[in-house]
Homo-oligomer: A and B are copies of this chain.
Amino acid sequence: MAAAKFALGIDFGTESGRVMLVRADTGEEVAWSVVPYVNGVMDRSLPDDTPLGPDWALQDPRDYLFVLDRGVREVMRESRVNAAEVAGIGVAFTSCTMLPCLADGTPLCMLEGFASQPHAWVKLWKHHAAQRQADRINQLGARRREEFLRICSGRYSSEWLFSKVLQMVEEAPEVYAAAGRLIEAGDWIVWQMTGREVRSECSAGYKGMWIKGQGYPSRAFFHELDPRLESVVSEKIEAPILPLGSVAGGLSKSMAARMGLAPGTPVATAVIDAHAAVPACGVTEPGRLAMIMGTSICHMLLGSEAQMVEGMCGVVEDGILPGYWGYEAGQAAVGDIYAWFFRTGITAAMEQEAGRRGLSPAEWVTTEAWRLKPGESGLLALDWWNGNRSVLMDAGLSGVLAGATLATRPEEIYRALIEATAFGTRAVIDAFDARGLPTRDIVACGGLAERSPAVMQIFADVTGREIRLPRSFQASGLGAAMHGAVAGGYYKDFGAAARGMTGLLERAYRPNPAARSVYDRLYCEYRTLHDYFGRGTNDVLKRLRAIRREVTGQ
């Protein structure tokens, strides 16, 4: 191992795969490569033009293999690092992104007879066509008091494994029957690399109903869900479930040749991309919240014990890092709300004004919004443009804006939307806090954290916590490399890996006391409206959706 001085991280995202080679001792990036998926996100049709229904989102597993072929070769060539110097490989993957394959790992969509069958392809995490199935799972799970519902606050998501499996068996039983295995794409790609099928504790725990020490739900549960699913676990899913940071296997000879690496190089158990980012943010102990900020926000916190925190998306033992309970919460739309505003709230006059100053409209409106004092807009919003993922866990909610006057300007609305998303994060922090899981400070990563200092300062002012950013802007990729380094034995655990490989930028967003005191008052108002609209006092938001569905027939 003396010669092994590098770690390889491969981060399979929604639109592309990113490969990073880093120094194992410092985490310093040596080379990286981005490989866009040829077929990207298929949400209208398959490559052969077979149309897809609304809310579908598929991918092509060949695109993942191409990332290995091309991306890894690129970084190895560019870095001139000797293949023998790679201590280990880590894989981060979106989740739950799942596919059906034969018992030998061949994806069904790659077989002649299944290429035109949508259910034979990879269902991407944001495939949302299994809501009815999720509803049935939740009803049945609640009636049977199934344990898996407790760890996700009673709401098993339409995005998760068995919602997608149930949709498959109902809509395409022949695909289900032909599938020797139903597997997370992260586990599948590790299988392709090592020749050994294992499952990760991370995705099994957060998305797959698996509970450490208890296993999967019973055959009786699956039978009642659908008789055809009675043996789904034993026949199509069961496999060794490995902890994070462990070795899934050594790189196979054939894959080593394709990738330009050494056979036998340790490959770590796959990890969900957001979860991979946590140690890369230097978060390896309780008390520091990791926020992955982009179109949405994932909030990740480690705890020394199991607590049922209101509205968590998942509470999984060893689910983020070994030795801790991993808490995941989230906001369903954050950057997406800002993008909605940029799409619908920028007038022609504002575009002209921005152009005159040599700024993009988004930059200009951000500057204008940032000039405002807290409370100056007189506006208050509920950040539920895409429902509420935590702490209410209610996709049927929608956004509210209060306080508009004839003098209200677009930049004031934008400011109120930023503040609302920050209030949403504060509500998550409060939910943790109420269960004895304090947030001392925050490390934030992701595009929003890197590119929007105004947004970050508002988040600091609203939450009353200092926020810092990791040195690396590729947190999931670096996290994957850390998994590789731990699996490869370069570090004894993630704490040591984080001390070696990560660091924070100097710049800190510190709460401004004056702003914070105004935001404390506004947050009280937010909470009152949050509970009024979100906890059943007035279910108007749901009734508006119901009326909408009725009149549009959707």
Contacts and interface: CB of A to CB of B under 8 A. Distances in A.
A544 B374 CA distance: 11
Interface string A190-216: 000000000000000000000000000
How many copies the complex holds: the figure is: 2
Interface string A504-532: 00000000000000100110010011001
A532 B408 CA distance: 22
Contacts of A345: 344-345, 347
A325 to B, nearest CB: 32
Contacts of A547: 375, 378, 518, 521-522
A402 B345 CA distance: 16
Contacts of A525: 540, 543-544
A373 B551 contact: yes
Interface in A14-41: none
Contact of A377 (B379, B402, B518, B548): B548
A77 interface: no
B403 A401 contact: no
B518 A529 contact: no
| Most chain B beta-carbon neighbours within 10 Å: one of A337, A378, A399, A408 | A378
A351 interface: yes
Contact of A532 (B351, B379, B532): B532
A545 B403 CA distance: 8
A386 interface: yes
Interface residues of A, number: 52
A333 B408 CA distance: 14
A66 interface: no
Nearest to A381: B404
B348 A406 contact: no
A398 B541 CA distance: 19
A404 B410 contact: no
A138 to B, nearest CB: 22
A383 to B, nearest CB: 10
A237 interface: no
A84 interface: no
Interface of A: 333, 336-337, 340, 343-348, 351, 373-380, 385-386, 398-406, 408-410, 518, 521-522, 525, 528-529, 532-533, 538, 540-541, 543-545, 547-548, 550-552
